[in-house]
């Protein structure tokens, strides 16, 4: 219970007590001057005092208007300002969350339904300026929302639709920077974050994009299969070449072996079994057959 309501209750009880005292004085035939004065003072106090106490909650800031002119600022707590001449206009100083929905166009004229969230907070030390220029927070918020929509459209319209789809993650930072640059100190707020929560293209465009992606996937699959076939054919050809080279080498060895045996047989056919009488030379070798002779 706020101090205002407590004071109202206290004054109400005192007024009721003073009224009974005045009534008792009148019944006793005494002069009711003192009880009457006391009652009048209590009524005046009831009118003037409780309603002059003002409470400002945590997370709020109030502008005190003296006869309509913004003069002072009150932060969280209890304050006494004469209610007949001082008026309190309370502003929410907490972070404000604004959900924005708009329609934008890409550079290639594709329609987009945009949903985004903007969070901002007023500068508490500039609340008098807000009161003087905007009157209340709703008008300021409408102005911020208009700027956010304008800058979002400007950023998205500089990109093609396919680029926006491919770079969705980078769209929010670009939009946020553009909005923060536009909402400067003249708006007396701090923009905390701007996030694009959804970008929805037309059904026809999304169908076209899906068909294009499917076609690209099929093309990639065909290229992969073609490359696989080429590699398989190359491997098979290489294996055949290796086998052919091995076979040729084997045939060569066989031919060399057969040639040597043929020469040996011809030599044996012509040799009479006699050794030469003289052998000259330091490294002379003499082939003496060891087979095909008779004892």
How does pLDDT run across 246-289, given as a tens digit for each residue? 777 777 766 666 666 666 666 566 656 665 555 555 555 555 55
Looking at residue 93, its pLDDT comes to: 87
Confidence of residue 292 (pLDDT cuts 50, 70, 90): very low
Residue 132 contacts residue 70 (beta carbons within 8 Å): yes
What b-and-e string marks burial along 147-172, b requiring 16 or more CB atoms within 10 Å of the CB?
bbbebbbebbeebebeebbeeeeebb
Give this prediction's pTM: 0.59
Distance in angstroms (rounded) separating the CA atoms of residues 100 and 204: 24
**pLDDT tens per residue, range 204-228:** 766 766 667 666 676 777 677 778 7
Q: What is the arithmetic mean of pLDDT over 1-10? A: 74
- For the domain covering 96-201, report its CATH number: 3.30.479.30
Neighbours of 91 (CB within 10 A): 19
Closest CA to 172 of 197, 207, 148, 202: 197
**pLDDT tens per residue, range 156-184:** 988 888 888 888 888 889 999 999 999 87
Residue 63 contacts residue 73 (beta carbons within 8 Å): yes
Distances (CA, A) of 125 to 122, 187, 188, 214: 9, 13, 9, 57
Six-digit token string for 227: 């490359």
């Amino acid at each position: 219970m706020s101090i205002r309501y407590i004071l109202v209750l206290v004054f109400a009880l005192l007024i009721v007590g003073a009224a009974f005292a005045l009534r008792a004085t009148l019944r006793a035939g005494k002069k009711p001057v003192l009880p009457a004065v006391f009652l009048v003072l209590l009524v005046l106090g009831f009118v003037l005092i409780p309603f002059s106490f003002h409470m400002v909650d945590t997370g709020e800031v109030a502008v005190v208007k003296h006869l309509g002119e913004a003069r002072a600022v009150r932060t969280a707590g209890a304050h006494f300002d004469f209610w007949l001449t001082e008026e309190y206009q309370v502003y929410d100083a907490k972070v404000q969350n604004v959900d924005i929905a708009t329609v934008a166009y890409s550079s290639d004229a594709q329609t987009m339904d945009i949903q985004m969230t903007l969070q901002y907070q007023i500068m508490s030390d500039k609340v008098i300026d807000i009161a003087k220029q905007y009157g209340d927070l709703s008008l300021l918020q409408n102005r911020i929302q208009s700027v956010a929509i304008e800058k979002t459209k400007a950023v998205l319209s500089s990109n093609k639709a396919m680029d926006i789809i491919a770079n969705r993650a980078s769209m929010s930072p670009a939009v946020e920077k553009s909005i923060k640059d536009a909402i400067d100190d003249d708006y007396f707020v701090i923009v905390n974050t701007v996030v694009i929560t959804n970008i929805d293209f037309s059904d026809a465009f999304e169908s076209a994009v899906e068909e294009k992606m499917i076609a690209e996937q099929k093309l990639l699959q065909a290229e992969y299969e073609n490359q696989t076939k080429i590699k398989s054919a190359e491997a098979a050809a290489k294996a055949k070449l290796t086998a052919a080279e091995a076979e040729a080498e084997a045939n060569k060895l066989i031919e060399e072996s057969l040639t040597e045996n043929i020469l040996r047989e011809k030599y044996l056919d012509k040799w009479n079994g006699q050794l030469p009488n003289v052998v000259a030379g330091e490294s002379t070798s003499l082939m003496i057959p060891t087979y095909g002779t008779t004892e």
